[in-house]
Amino acid sequence: MRILPLNGPTLGGLGGRQPESYGRRTLDEIVDACVAHAAGRGATLDCLQSNHEGALIDRLERPDFDAVVINHTEPDHSGALGELLRQNPAITVYCTRPGENFLKQLFDQPMKTHVVADGEELDLGGKTLRFFLAPNLHWPDTMFTYLAQDEILTGEAAVTLAGAVAGPFLAEAAGLAVSGGVLADSQRATSDRFIYAAGDVANFHSPALGRRIRVEHEDNALTMGRRAGANMAGHAEPYHHLPFFYSDLFDLGYEAVGDLDARHEIVADWKDPFREGVVYYLAGGRVRGVLLWNTWGQVDAARALIAESGPFQPKDLKSRLPACTPHAAAPGAALVTTSG
């Protein structure tokens, strides 16, 4: 099998451009490693990098392939496809139904397409491609292509597994260890050391809670994504951040951190009942989670409280937060305790 990886502008600067973010490996070093890896699996890589779109189109216009698999049709991913198909109208494009619709709108020209079904396979003569539909992971047309014999999963520029529903079955297809999410170590590497998991899909150990967790929210995605990216570039630093989540609805809002499990002992410390206060979740004498209801700027203090070994009784938590401005019990304030 021959594989044609095309790399566009700026990638030629790898190794020297912002090495603290992108690492110190040059594109040539990466290509050499990929070529060797492919050769060990019976494949040939024909790599090209150029800062000029014309050079990439010139390479695509060489009629030495029969089909194109397009995982995503956004113009910055597929802009050269129209000219390729004009020069080689016999080429078949494998894509999703939304992908076919987008391509026809983008290029407004005749083209041969094959709309793939979820799980459909394409026999290449000794190699098999399997297609997984992943609508709205990025665009409605998004899909992943799995090279079964070589256990290679390809998506957009970087393979992204996002969300509780789509992530595990794609990860399992790639042979990754899965248990309530993709299992990741402290540096976010999966059971395959060349694949990292971050964000919603990652099941990781939280030192603060003493167990594995999976969090679907913005703070986790941003902080873990940065750490995973840095570690992929060679930094090798653990991720010990305890992420928080939040929501707002008109004049009510909250920030929450830790394990908000209704089975824990719940201690509600209201400054204004059901309008402003802090709800603590106790288990084994330790604070396992904190809900900050219309109480702002206290997430770090809540993390510090969760890290404390205790032991805590409900009475110990009265006015514990907000930490910066301890308040006396306001008229009508109440400390309410329930057990799950």
pLDDT tens per residue across span 235-248: 889 999 999 988 88
The CA distance from 81 to 125, in Å, is 25
274: left (phi over 0), alpha (psi -120 to 50) or beta: left
pLDDT of 11: 78
| CATH class of the structural domain 245-339 | alpha beta
Lowest-confidence region among 17-31, 148-162, 217-231: 148-162
Does pLDDT of 330 surpass 50?
no
The helix/strand/coil state of 221 is helix
Q: Rounded to two decimals, what is the model's pTM?
A: 0.51
Counting every residue, how long is the chain? Answer: 340
Q: Where are the domains of the chain?
A: 245-339
Give the pLDDT band (50/70/90) at residue 299.
Answer: very high
CB 196 within 8 A of CB 190: yes
Q: Which two tokens stand for residue 29?
A: 């070093």
The helix/strand/coil state of 218 is helix
pLDDT of 238: 92
Does pLDDT of 41 surpass 60?
yes
Does pLDDT of 205 surpass 80?
yes
Best CA proximity match to 317, nearest among 291, 275, 288, 279: 279
Q: Sheet of 211-213: strands edge to edge? A: 182-183, 202-206, 211-213
The CA distance from 36 to 185, in Å, is 27
